[in-house]
């Protein structure tokens, strides 16, 4: 059932040209094309990616969680085209432009709020998620430096968390596969227990697990008085860590602990933002406002790289001074690129005009129904959902105790089996998940569920 890579001469030509010059991300290149298929894509349309051989692939992972409303969504494409005839790029130091200004205003108006807290009032742009995380970390540290609290040099991150691949972001990530080799280069972060409900003890509730993890965070604060400048976390959903989900209670406690110890809370909503968890931002579900909010991925609807870091007046004001050194001198050439900002504005327009969050509730309900039968599968230890994300935890036994050995590469086998059936599922280890574009319809969801079951069975049989 595996797609024959030689099925189309045109696709094969692109494949060969690619492999002679392109080095792909997150890939052991030696596995291409025999162990790992390489699929040249000619175009995209709605939830579909379409190969040069005309084959259709249902994009069930939204092209690494970036795509919101389908590929080549015409309203976003048109906004970029309009902007391109007007202003394609200008440096954002000393200059400004309408899309960057309007986008900042609109993001701040939509950002999470919390009674009794001054709202987020400033937006700093960067050009990808990892860069946004770097900005947030540097800002938090620099704030305390400017205030003379030079002992605050440590970051707390969560076990099993992920914040990107640059060295600063990798330092606060806890996924051994990405981090291990570079460990000697990384600043030393403090890791607090993950609130991940899947790791709950037998009989322990998700809320109980969240409480326990929060106690661990409290412990870290006690052990490092006056040293911690910020806690960084992915609210509600640790995505790259295997779509692990936690109770909103944890965010409330993390917020309280940060306040009690004078540290910032950085919410990395790069993956969870823009409706993925059922609300526009995941923090809303805990009623928590972070001091720094990192956004990227869905920010432009999946069209262009852009990130934004939203923060408070209090943090911003600490950088105002006569000296250049106190200023936040961080910059990227494409900071606040007008085309990307125009794409983001069109994305926000669609959220408003199409009532996306409300419509997603229906789609998430269909996903829930389709996922329910998987709980009876003998090799599925857990089926979980947060909003528009459903995850299936594969295991040798459904009692959760025995994972498949890594060497069996069950995830890879599932990936290939699904691709051969025209669906892009890209498991994280042995976690198979659905994170589709919001435009996915009921027929496509039914195809997704049916293919997922077949691919899991075939993948396990191969292992
Ligand atoms: C993807 C991701 C990042 C990194 O974003 P890039 O644009 O890939 O650099 C950071 N944090 C989270 C939570 C992510 O999912």
Segment 198-221, tens digit of pLDDT: 999 999 999 999 999 999 999 999
**pLDDT of 8 above 80:** yes
DSSP β-ladder status, 237-238 and 244-245 = antiparallel
Contact call for residues 419 and 454 (beta carbons, < 8 A): no
pLDDT of residue 77: 98
Spatial strand order of the sheet with 307-312 comes to 120-126, 307-312, 292-295, 264-268, 228-233, 154-158, 190-192
| 3 state DSSP class of 167 | helix
Percent of the chain with pLDDT over 70: 98
Furthest CA-CA distance within the chain: 67
CA 273 to chain centre: 8
Paired tokens of 373 = 């039968």
Residues forming a β-bridge with 293: 267, 310
Contact call for residues 301 and 68 (beta carbons, < 8 A): yes
**pLDDT of 52 above 60:** yes
Nearest CA to ligand 1 atom 3: 164
Q: How far is the CA of 132 from the centre of ligand 1 (A)?
A: 9
**Averaged over 35-53, what is the pLDDT?**
96
Paired tokens of 392 = 């299936």
Segment 324-380, tens digit of pLDDT: 889 999 999 999 999 999 999 999 999 999 999 999 999 999 999 999 999 999 999
Query: Which pTM does this prediction carry?
Result: 0.97
Nearest CA to ligand 1 atom 15: 271
**pLDDT of 397 above 90:** no
What is the band of 5 on the pLDDT scale with cuts at 50, 70, 90? very low
Question: What is the Cα–Cα distance from 411 to 399, expressed in whole angstroms?
Answer: 19
Ligand 1 closest atom vs CA 169: 10
Contact call for residues 283 and 289 (beta carbons, < 8 A): yes
Helical pair 206-223 and 249-260, crossing angle rounded to 10 deg: 20
**pLDDT of 133 above 90:** yes
pLDDT of residue 7: 66
Nearest CA to ligand 1 atom 12: 163
Q: How far is the CA of 16 from the centre of ligand 1 (A)?
A: 30
| Mean pLDDT, rounded, of the chain | 96
**Averaged over 282-300, what is the pLDDT?**
98
Q: Into which CATH architecture does domain 9-72+356-462 fall? A: Alpha-Beta Complex (3.90)
With 0-12 / 13-18 / 19 or more C-beta atoms within 10 angstroms meaning exposed / middle / buried, residue 190 is: middle
pLDDT of residue 361: 98
Q: How far is the CA of 268 from the centre of ligand 1 (A)?
A: 8
Q: How far is the CA of 396 from the centre of ligand 1 (A)?
A: 30
Mutate to test the pocket of ligand 1, among 61, 64, 130, 282 (most ligand atoms within 8 A of CB): 130
The ligand 1 site (C-beta within 6 Å) comprises 128-130, 133, 162-164, 234, 239-240, 268, 270-271, 296-297
**pLDDT of 235 above 60:** yes
CATH number assigned to the domain with residue range 80-354, chosen from the 4 options 2.60.40.10, 3.40.640.10, 3.10.450.50, 1.20.1250.20 = 3.40.640.10
Q: How far is the CA of 158 from the centre of ligand 1 (A)?
A: 15
Segment 72-131, tens digit of pLDDT: 999 999 999 999 999 999 999 999 999 999 999 999 999 999 999 999 999 999 999 999
Paired tokens of 262 = 């004078």
Contact call for residues 449 and 370 (beta carbons, < 8 A): yes
Q: How far is the CA of 157 from the centre of ligand 1 (A)?
A: 15
Q: How far is the CA of 348 from the centre of ligand 1 (A)?
A: 20
pLDDT of residue 1: 38
Measured between its terminal Cα atoms, the distance across the chain in Å is 16
Segment 163-196, tens digit of pLDDT: 999 999 999 999 999 999 999 999 999 999 999 9
Mutate to test the pocket of ligand 1, among 26, 63, 64, 163 (most ligand atoms within 8 A of CB): 163
CA 439 to chain centre: 19
**pLDDT of 231 above 50:** yes
Q: How far is the CA of 64 from the centre of ligand 1 (A)?
A: 9
What is the band of 4 on the pLDDT scale with cuts at 50, 70, 90? low
Mutate to test the pocket of ligand 1, among 240, 282, 332 (most ligand atoms within 8 A of CB): 240
| 3 state DSSP class of 366 | helix
pLDDT of residue 323: 85
Distances (CA, A) of 29 to 19, 33, 177: 9, 8, 16
**Angle CA(22)–CA(424)–CA(174) in degrees, nearest 5?**
75
Ligand 1 closest atom vs CA 234: 13
Nearest CA to ligand 1 atom 6: 129
Q: How far is the CA of 271 from the centre of ligand 1 (A)?
A: 7
CA dihedral sign, ordered 38, 44, 46, 50: negative
Q: How far is the CA of 99 from the centre of ligand 1 (A)?
A: 23
Domain map of the chain by residue range?
9-72+356-462, 80-354
Segment 239-264, tens digit of pLDDT: 999 999 999 999 999 999 999 999 99
Nearest CA to ligand 1 atom 11: 163
């Amino acid at each position: 059932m595996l797609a024959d890579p030689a099925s189309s001469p045109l696709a094969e030509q692109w494949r060969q040209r690619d492999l002679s010059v392109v080095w792909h991300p997150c890939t052991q290149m030696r596995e291409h094309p025999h162990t790992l298929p390489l699929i040249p894509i000619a175009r995209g349309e709605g939830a579909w990616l379409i190969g040069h051989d005309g084959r259709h692939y249902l994009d069930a992972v939204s092209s690494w969680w970036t795509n919101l409303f389908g590929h080549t969504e015409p309203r976003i494409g048109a906004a970029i085209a309009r902007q391109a005839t007007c202003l394609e790029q200008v440096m954002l130091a000393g200059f400004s432009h309408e899309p960057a200004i309007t986008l900042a205003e609109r993001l701040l108006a939509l950002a999470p709020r919390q009674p009794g807290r001054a709202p987020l009032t400033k937006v700093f742009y960067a050009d990808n998620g990892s860069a946004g995380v770097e900005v947030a970390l540097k800002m938090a540290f620099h704030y305390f430096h400017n205030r003379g609290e030079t002992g605050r040099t440590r970051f707390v991150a969560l076990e099993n968390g992920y914040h990107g691949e640059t060295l600063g972001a990798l330092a606060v990530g806890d996924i051994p596969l990405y981090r291990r080799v570079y460990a000697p280069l990384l600043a030393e972060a403090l890791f607090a227990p993950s609130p991940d409900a899947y790791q709950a003890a037998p009989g322990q509730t998700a809320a109980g697990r969240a409480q326990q993890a929060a106690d661990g965070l409290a412990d870290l604060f006690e052990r490092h008085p006056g040293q911690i400048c910020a806690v960084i976390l992915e609210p509600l959903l640790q995505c790259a860590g295997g779509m692990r989900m936690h109770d909103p209670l944890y965010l409330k406690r993390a917020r309280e602990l940060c306040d009690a110890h004078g540290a910032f809370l950085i919410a990395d909503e790069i993956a969870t933002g823009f409706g993925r968890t059922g609300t526009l931002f995941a923090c809303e579900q805990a009623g928590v406002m972070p001091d720094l909010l990192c956004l990227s991925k869905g920010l432009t609807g999946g069209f262009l790289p852009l990130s934004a870091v939203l923060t408070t007046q209090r943090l911003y004001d600490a950088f105002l001074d006569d000296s250049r050194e106190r200023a936040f001198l961080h910059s990227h050439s494409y900071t606040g690129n007008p085309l990307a900002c125009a794409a983001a504005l069109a994305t926000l327009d669609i959220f408003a005009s199409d009532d996306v969050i409300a419509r997603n509730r229906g789609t998430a309900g269909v996903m829930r129904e389709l996922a329910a039968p998987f709980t009876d599968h003998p090799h599925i230890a857990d089926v979980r959902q947060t909003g528009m994300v459903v995850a299936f935890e594969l295991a040798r036994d459904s009692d959760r105790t025995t994972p498949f050995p890594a060497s069996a590469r069950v995830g890879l086998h599932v990936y290939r089996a699904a691709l051969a059936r025209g669906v892009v599922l890209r498991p994280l280890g042995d976690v198979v998940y659905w994170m589709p574009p919001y435009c996915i319809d009921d027929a496509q969801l039914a195809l997704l569920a049916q293919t997922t079951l077949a691919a899991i069975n075939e993948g396990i049989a191969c292992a």
